[in-house]
């Protein structure tokens, strides 16, 4: 693993810990359009960018995103609507990319499972809207990932 890969993975792990702590994720939006980038790993795949802090999102609001604003998403909404929906749309999560648009690209269900694992590690339980429990959400994530 290169130093760049180590830094990217460390940034990703910090993203997971911070969103669990704050129960909030940030995106850049303008008129219902969210900031996306082309994947550097997979041809013809889009990455929707998310940040653990408002400042991280705001730092990327330049060039083609100069008129975008940082908008918070609750962690439950991120998990239930974004991660699950992005999986169905074959999109990737870009977690805490820097202003050079460099960062980890991750499968949305893997991100969701990493968040649930961190929730359990710190003894937190979220109340889901579309699932009976955090455990049910986790079970469905695992089933979907094993089916791939």
The pLDDT tens digits for 37-93 are: 999 888 899 999 999 999 999 999 999 899 999 999 999 999 999 999 999 999 999
Return the domain boundaries, the chain.
Answer: 3-147
pLDDT of residue 99: 87
Buried b or exposed e, range 90-104, using 16+ CB within 10 angstroms:
ebbbbbbbeeebebb
Choose among 44, 46, 35: nearest CA to 99.
35
Q: What is the pLDDT of residue 28?
A: 97
**103-114 pLDDT tens trace:** 999 999 999 999
The whole-angstrom separation of Cα 63 and Cα 128 is 36
pLDDT at 1: 45
Number of neighbours of residue 63 by Cβ within 10 angstroms: 8
Q: Is the pLDDT reported for residue 116 higher than 60?
A: yes
Q: Is the dihedral of CA 111, 116, 119, 124 positive or negative?
A: positive
Q: Which residue has the tokens 């290169």?
A: 2
């Amino acid at each position: 693993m290169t130093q760049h890969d180590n830094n990217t993975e460390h940034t990703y792990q910090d993203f997971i810990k911070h969103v669990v702590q704050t129960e909030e994720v940030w995106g850049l939006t303008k008129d219902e359009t969210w900031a996306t980038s082309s994947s550097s790993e997979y041809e013809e795949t889009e990455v929707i960018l998310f940040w653990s802090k408002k400042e991280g999102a705001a730092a990327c609001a330049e060039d083609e995103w100069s008129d975008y604003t940082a908008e918070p998403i609750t962690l439950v909404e991120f998990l239930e609507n974004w991660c699950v929906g992005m999986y169905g749309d074959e999109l990737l999560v870009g977690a805490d990319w820097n202003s050079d648009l460099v960062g980890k690209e991750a499968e949305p269900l893997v991100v969701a499972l990493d968040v649930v694992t961190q929730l359990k590690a710190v003894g937190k339980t979220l109340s889901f809207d579309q699932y009976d429990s955090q455990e049910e959400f986790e079970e469905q994530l695992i089933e979907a990932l094993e089916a791939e």
